[in-house]
Amino acid sequence: MLAGATAMVVSLLGTRWLIVFFRTRGQGQPILGKEDHGPEHHMAKQGTPTMGGLAIVVAALVGWLVAHLRRGLAFSDQTMIVWLAVLFMAGMGFLDDYIKVRKRHNRGIFWKQKNYITMLASFGFAWWLSSATGISETISITRAEVGIEIPTFLWVVWAGAIVWATTNAVNVTDGLDGLAAGSALMGFGAFTAIAYWTFRNPDFYPDVVNPLDMGVLAAAFAGGCLGFLWWNAAPARIFMGDVGALAIGTALGFCALTLNVDLLLILICAINVMEAGSVAIQMGVFKASGRTRRLFRMSPIHHHFELIGWPETTVIIRFWLISAICVALALGIFIADFTNIAAGNV
């Protein structure tokens, strides 16, 4: 509660400050036009301040630190590593955002290389987490005990792939006002509940290392997203930018890994999975057809629904509803498993 509330206030005020800061300098988000096969219908948004994700990251960090002023909450090794990963990815995103703004084009110098760098970083931080902490090296749905234990090398590959995929999926989702921040808010809320439940029932989840600290991190990010959403909701006065999307994706991926709910991430981040999947499907159909056909009018899929006549706010709200249903289903699966083991059925 302390972490989330602090982060919300810092994000609310910090985002407002960023809006003024970037507007006074005439620095805003460039939009891909028709020549780049971009969403031409979004050209009116060109020049909107970006890099608002800075407020989310800073607010989450402040909220997490403030929560530790209260006695009884220890700094855990695994959460420290997760924070370093988040800050590294945020730094990559900030660099790309800065180049876009300076070059006035929606592709920074690293728009290709960035994927390779973030992929290597994901594997690197996954290896660090495995080698420096007692994290369970399993592929799990609700807990390690019913998961599949795999060798360390394979777990590092698995974990790195999850983190990298989630960062890219959140980045792809960040194309409509408030869509990425709203869905991430629900995801972090779910991880907060899972972490606290795990903390309160250590006998049932012995393989999770210090879940309370991860719960505080998730709550802090939820608060950061909530404060940012005040200014990012349609019509957005500031965009998240890669700095926020990459940081949020990294935090979501590591929350799932450290809490042994890897496979629940598919439901918790269902909108991100759907968005990234639509891009992959679109590219697959386009290449398979000899570059003559496309399945969707435009990908990611949120642009497809805009082009068939849905207003932007309708797309956003309906996607939020899908996200809420999937997050509720994920929590239901987690609680149902706990009910079974508490009743001695597992």
- Residues 192-201 pLDDT 10s: 999 999 999 9
Tokens of 160: 């790195």
Judge contact between 78 and 129, C-beta under 8 A.
yes
Residue 342 clears pLDDT 80, i.e. is over it:
no
Mean pLDDT across 178-196? 95
At residue 287, the pLDDT reads 87
Least confident of 123-132, 194-203, 209-218, 280-289: 280-289
Judge contact between 119 and 164, C-beta under 8 A.
yes
**What's the pLDDT band for 161 if we cut at 50, 70, 90?**
very high
Q: What is the DSSP string of 117-178?
A: HHHHHHHHHHHHHHHHS----EE-SS-GGGSEE--HHHHHHHHHHHHHHHHHHHHHHTTSTT
Least confident of 77-81, 107-111, 340-344: 107-111
Q: How far is the C-alpha of 334 from the C-alpha of 141, rounded, in Å?
A: 8
C-alpha Rg value of the chain to the nearest Å: 20
Q: Which residue has the tokens 């001695």?
A: 344
Scored b (16 or more CB within 10 A) or e, 318-337 reads ebbeebbebbeebbebbeeb
Tokens of 346: 């597992």
Phi, psi of 62 (to 5 degrees): -65, -45
Q: Is 176 left (phi over 0), alpha (psi -120 to 50) or beta?
A: beta
Segments of the chain assigned E as strands: 138-139, 148-149
Which pTM does this prediction carry? Answer: 0.91
Q: Which residue has the tokens 């929606």?
A: 106
Q: How far is the C-alpha of 7 from the C-alpha of 14, rounded, in Å?
A: 10
**What's the pLDDT band for 45 if we cut at 50, 70, 90?**
low
Share of the chain above pLDDT 90, in %: 61
Residue 43 clears pLDDT 70, i.e. is over it:
no
- CA dihedral (95, 319, 177, 30) positive or negative: positive
Residue 199: Cβ-neighbour burial (10 angstroms; 0-12, 13-18, 19+): middle
Contacts of 346 (CB under 8 A, 6+ apart): 146, 337, 340
Q: How many helices (H) and strands (E) does the chain have?
A: 12, 2
- 346 to each of 79, 196, 204, 252, how far by Cα in Å? 30, 21, 11, 28
Contacts of 103 (CB under 8 A, 6+ apart): 30, 109
Contacts of 88 (CB under 8 A, 6+ apart): 121, 125
Q: How far is the C-alpha of 247 from the C-alpha of 88, rounded, in Å?
A: 8
